[in-house]
Structure 1
Amino acid sequence: MCAKLEKLESHQITYESLLKGNKEWVAETLKEDPKFFEKLSAGQAPPVLWIGCSDSRVPANQITNTMPGDIFVHRNIANVVTHTDMNLLSVLDYSVNVLKVKHIIVCGHYGCGGVNAALGDNQVGLIDNWLRNIKDVIRLHEREMQTIKDPQKKSNRLVELNAIEGAANVMSTSIVQNAWATGQELSVHAWVYSLQTGLITDLQVSASNADDISPVFKMKTGK
């Protein structure tokens, strides 16, 4: 279903136009499927948890051609996954233990402002503390990063490494490890999205059981 609505340019969007656009979207949606909202309000059973960047140009549903209700979404600056983020952990716990998602995708995107800021040494503000997590990724892969001289290639590679490390951090949580221990069908993946082409690249970093976790992070689950 794709509502055929007139799209406004960013500079034309106002508070009022957002509300007007909502009504137009509802009307067009009901034309195509009169029971759409009735079915949507009955409950959600998304098969996917998406952990992505807050960047407005990377909307999970649109770039994967899926519908409302298909993807459970968590977004933050530069799609960081850290074990001290209770917001993310709460989303992860609900997704795995209540919604029973089958796939968790950590998706970065080339040209990420947060990643580029982490590559520099300028103070940005409060976000500097958040970007420290990405600087840790640089430190973990310092030898490789030092070999890349081209700034664009260095940024692109860090985007990839940040998504890969984020996926690894998801895998090492007790939430995911306990799910695997009980035989729950669950896979974790790392992707990256290109703003220039609109295409997603699978970074070929996936796991569906604890065998792929570094031994230092493996936990006794008691299962």
Structure 2
Amino acid sequence: MKSFEKLLMENKKWASDKQKIDPNFFKHLAKEQKPEFLWIGCSDSRVPAELIVNAEPGEMFIHRNIANQMVATDFNCLSVLQYAVAVLKVKHIIVCGHYNCGGVKAALNNQSTDLVLTNKWLMHIKNVYRLHQKEVNALATEQERIDRLVELNVIEQVKTLAYTSIIQQAWHEESRPIIHGWVYGLSDGLLKTLISMEPGHEIEPIFKYDYTEAVA
């Protein structure tokens, strides 16, 4: 059996098992989605969002990219954010990184001439490193430096979310969502809370909107 055929077989078993437990499961799921959470996570195959929090289909709206970035010029991520906040009315946004992240590890090294597009994406993490270079370089081992940059990257992405008009407008008009920054441990499967920003949280004045425009 080929690997992709196994996936199709497992899909049939999963769907059958779900219907045995709840015959109406897929009927309810097909009607509409009302997730409470938007999850912005890393594309790493070892960090499946629903599995690590034991969530069911329909509970989380999910966006993933290399090293869980919230880039202010990424229209893909901004579209997901706007839909989740303005249409789905999510109450919580979770930015989740993970220790020993390959993207963060690569960002701490010189740029590869073989990965031109990846280099451009990693530039955002390099800027996080530049902002916190003194703290990161003071750590004793490479692994400690990588894992601390993982944490700092999550914190900076949470702040970037708060700088968007999408979030600020929702905070102003509906007092939601709460933004959370978490990090996942590959070695123990546990999540660690790093930062939380609630509606009304004070942000740097230079990033504040006056609500006269609706530009992300």
In structure 1, the residue matched to 2:172 is 181
* 1:104 corresponds to: 93
Q: Matched residue of 1:69: which SS?
A: coil
Q: Secondary structure at the match of 2:61?
A: strand
Asked if 2 retains the 8 angstrom alpha-carbon contact of 1:45 and 1:69, the reply is yes
Q: CA deviation at 1:149?
A: 2.8
Q: CA deviation at 1:179?
A: 0.6
* Cα contact 2:38–2:93 (8 A) shared by 1: yes
Given candidates 14, 20, 28, the residue that maps to 1:25 is 14
CA contact (8 A) 2:41 2:97 kept: yes
Amino acid corresponding to residue 85 of structure 1 in structure 2: D
Q: Spell out, residue by residue over 1:172-203, the C-alpha distance to the aligned partner (whole angstroms, 9 max, x if none).
A: 10100011111332100100000000000001
Closer/same/farther in 2, CA of residues 66 and 13 from structure 1, 3 Å limit: farther
Give, in angstroms, the shift of residue 163 of structure 1: 0.4
Task: Tell me what 1:219 maps to.
Answer: 209
Q: Aligned to 1:37, which of 11, 26, 29?
A: 26
Shift of 1:13: 6.1
1:178–1:13: structure 2 CA closer, same or farther, 3 Å change rule?
farther
What is the number of residues matched between the two proteins?
211
Identity %: 49
Cα distance in structure 2, aligned partners of 1:210 and 1:142: 30
- 2:182 counterpart (185, 191, 195): 191
- TM-score relative to the length of structure 1: 0.91
- In 2, Cα distance between the equivalents of 1:138 and 1:199? 25
Q: Which residue of 2 aligns with 1:78?
A: 67
Residue pair 1:210, 1:218 contacting (<8 A) in 2 also: no
User: What's the counterpart of residue 5 of structure 1?
Assistant: none
Q: Which runs of 4+ in 1 moved over 4 A?
A: none
Among candidates 54, 73, 80, match of residue 65 of structure 1: 54
TM-score normalised to structure 2 length: 0.94
For the residues of structure 2 that align with 1:62 and 1:108, how far apart are their CA atoms? 15
| Residue 59 of structure 1, CA deviation | 0.8
Question: In the TM superposition, what is the alpha-carbon distance from 1:211 to its structure 2 partner?
Answer: 3.1
Secondary structure of residue in 1 paired with 2:31: coil
- Provide the alpha-carbon RMSD of the alignment: 1.4
Deviation, structure 1 residue 136: 0.3
1:136 and 2:89 matched: no
Match of 1:211, SS state, is coil
Aligned mates of 1:77, 1:161 — CA distance in 2: 15
1:13 and 1:77, CA in 2 relative to 1: closer, same or farther beyond 3 A?
farther
Q: Secondary structure at the match of 1:37?
A: helix
**Equivalent residue letter for 1:22:** N
In 2, Cα distance between equivalents of 1:179 and 1:110: 31
Q: Structure 1 regions of 5+ residues with no counterpart? A: 1-11
